[in-house]
Amino acid sequence: MGLPRFGRPKNGDELSSNLFVANCGPAVGISDDEIASVFCKFGELNGVYAADDSGTRVIVSFSEVGSAQSAFMALHGKPCPQFGGRSLFIRYSVLQPNPKVVHW
């Protein structure tokens, strides 16, 4: 099946329970578990997923939109002490439907 696919909301102001988070991930020495330990303080997580192959961007998926909104307001553009003072750059992200596979 593969991992969930995420993208930008069609309406740039649309809130979502998923956050695209740049400047953290395994390529900069921050594990998914470490990311989850910071973001879970804002609410129940569905998971932390690689946003792409760079290893420096992740999707943090919450169960509730309000939890994602709280995390966004608390962490976007601010240094995160748990991540060595790295500033996180966050935007909302939405789950994209998987493309249909045609079988011949």
pLDDT digits 0-9 by tens, 71-103: 999 999 999 999 999 999 999 987 666 555 555
Indicate the range of 9-23, 60-74, 81-95 predicted with least confidence.
9-23
Spatial contact of 58 and 21, defined as CB atoms under 8 Å apart: yes
The pTM of this model reads 0.82
Name the CATH architecture for the domain at 16-91.
2-Layer Sandwich (3.30)
> Closest Cα to residue 16, out of 96, 104, 100, 102?
96
d(CA 74, CA 9): 21
The CA distance from 29 to 83, in Å, is: 9
How do the domains of the chain map onto residue ranges? Answer: 16-91
